[in-house]
Amino acid sequence: MNLSEHIKFSPKVEQAIKENRPVIALESTIISHGMPYPQNVETAIACENIAREHGVEPATIAIIQGKLCVGLTEKEIDYLGKTGLSVTKASRRDLPVLIARKQDGATTVAATMIIAAMAGIKVFATGGIGGVHRGAETTMDISADLEELAQTPVAVICAGAKSILDLGLTLEYLETKGIPVLGYKTDKLPAFFTNTSEFNVDYRMDSAQEIADTISAQRSLGFSGGMLIANPIPEEYAMDAKVIDKAIADAIEEAEQKGIHGKDTTPFLLAKIVEITGGNSLKANIQLVFNNVRLASEIATKLQF
């Protein structure tokens, strides 16, 4: 089998690529594992609409019946949203098995990057990346997202690393792997739900054009890895740092008590934080994703190769 036998493009995405129009990738784990139904489906469709409003074709990525789908129909998005946690949360290690078994999978940041790169898509908008989990010095719990950023040439726009993580160690890991961390109109690494952070990004960028030029320079050098663009949640939607830190601490404590670990950790913690904050964290999550899609779309329209 060759690669073309595994990838399935939606007609809209295929046409946009043929016409050399800007395309951005969107992940599907946020649909099946990141939010409850129907907000997950509403958010995914709204993200696609935001991209199109900016003149960009969205390519929501998932595995459907063993096919690496680059671009989904609304029916497929609704299926992933309704099926929820029963859909495999798919990272790099899961792709060969899902293809061989002709099963479904919702792609994480890592898997979305892989499939986007296969499809020639250079920009990807998500909520927040995975990273080094708290206590990783003993558990070795480090997201595959970081390794993927080190080896896959896709620029990832996010609201920083998820605030349930150890942000300092995540930045150290990114530095070791040579991954540039750019802050859009900020010197600090955003902490997902909040912009309060003691950690600096590598470089501040004040325009989408400057970011696009930096991505183009990285690609022209032939570097194998990607780039992380940290885009703070709009201030009007940001949560109070003390409130969210307390919610995170309580959620982590419950996860430890219940023995939850590995790839089940993040979905559990995010759902628990939504419960603790009375749904406020979900509202913030949705708005930061919208904000990242807007910036990714602006960057994609300015990329020159």
Catalytic residue among 8, 27, 122, 272: 27
- Decide if 162 is catalytic: yes
CA distance linking residue 293 with residue 124, whole number of Å:
8
For residue 102, give both structure tokens: 């002709």
Catalytic residue among 8, 89, 122, 162: 162
What count of other Cβ atoms lies within 10 Å of the Cβ of residue 220?
9
- Decide if 246 is catalytic: no
Is the alpha carbon torsion for 197, 201, 205, 208 positive or negative?
negative
Question: Catalytic positions, please?
Answer: 27, 162
